[in-house]
Amino acid sequence: VAGPQFERHRLPAFPGRSRSRGAADIETRCQLHRKIFGEFSSSSFGDFQSVFNQPQEYIMDLTFNQAAKGVNKEFTVNITDTCERCDGKGNEPGTKVQHCHYCGGSGMETINTGPFVMRSTCRRCGGRGSIITSPCVVCRGAGQAKQKKKVVIPVPAGVEDGQTVRMPVGKREIFITFRVQKSPVFRRDGADIHSDLFISIAQAILGGTARTQGLYETINVTIPPGTQSDQKIRMSGKGIPRINSYGYGDHYIHIKIRVPKRLTSRQQSLILSYAEDETDVEGTVNGVTNTSTGKRSTGN
């Protein structure tokens, strides 16, 4: 995550002995200080501990289908959370803590400074109200420990490559960025998907049916007679769920006509007969001596 973008300021020089201008300059510096460090903390001095306790970031790899359909995926994270051995109490299980006599168990101590009475966190017990004589061997009395946790991430259907989600784990939060693999079959455009369907010359000319892989099931596609190469057939609602709205995208099937590289002798004769009757030939056709337009072939 990119850090905050600070704007450069030119600080005014302190004036001579003008009290009013000096006060104004000090206020300017205070405002600058609050503007910069206020992004890190609500206190004027800056709580830098909160900077280091920012949520951890993880990368999760997903297949194309997992991202499109959604999946509950198990994931292992390393976080600092409540110590499982002592349950966050800080003392070794089976041992007792001593009552802090310095603060009377309140966690606060009273300090007399002449006419004023101040209360602050107890310096002996650190505000706990008790003294740990046998610290937990795992967290050493801190109540927090680094630990591995297996969590199940509910990946929503329709997530895209690079999207990030925030998820609570224990008492902490983590950021998970999805990295989606390319599909060998589908191409994605938002909630729409695209794929190719190869058909024969006969199917393209005469029409027919073909089967192709869909995102959720095998799709039976009707090929209309006279289908052209790169023509698109739209399958409404067969795409990816729209993650920020209702409904599904569409599946666009791009027709590709497969031209055979070898023909049987019968196929060769039939295609030559067809070529002789063609009326929209520009140029020549190998093996055809005379077409219906009167054009002759120069090849064999």
Rounded to whole angstroms, the Cα distance separating 112 from 99 reads 23
Average pLDDT, the chain: 79
Q: Where are the alpha helices (DSSP H) in the chain?
A: 19-37, 48-52, 64-69, 201-206, 265-277
Q: Could you report the per-residue pLDDT of 10-42, keeping only the tens digit for each?
A: 333 334 444 444 545 545 444 444 443 343 333
What is the pLDDT, as a whole number, of residue 44? 35
Q: What does the pLDDT read at residue 53?
A: 57
CATH of 56-97+132-181, one of 2.60.260.20, 3.40.640.10, 1.20.120.450, 3.30.565.10: 2.60.260.20
For residue 95, pLDDT over 80 is answered with: yes
Would you state the CATH architecture of domain 186-257? Sandwich (2.60)
The structure tokens 């999946």 sit at 71
* pLDDT at residue 212, rounded to an integer: 96
Nearest to 278 by CA among 258, 260, 294, 300: 294
Closest CA to 216 of 242, 190, 248, 245: 248
pTM value is 0.64
For 177-202, what is each residue's pLDDT tens digit?
A: 999 999 999 999 999 999 999 999 99
Is 70 exceeded by the pLDDT of residue 6? no
pLDDT of amino acid 65:
95
Domain residue spans of the chain:
56-97+132-181, 186-257
pLDDT, tens digit, 9 for 90 and up, residues 130-180 = 888 788 888 887 888 887 888 888 999 999 999 998 888 877 788 999 999
Comparing 56-97+132-181 with 186-257, is the CATH topology the same? yes
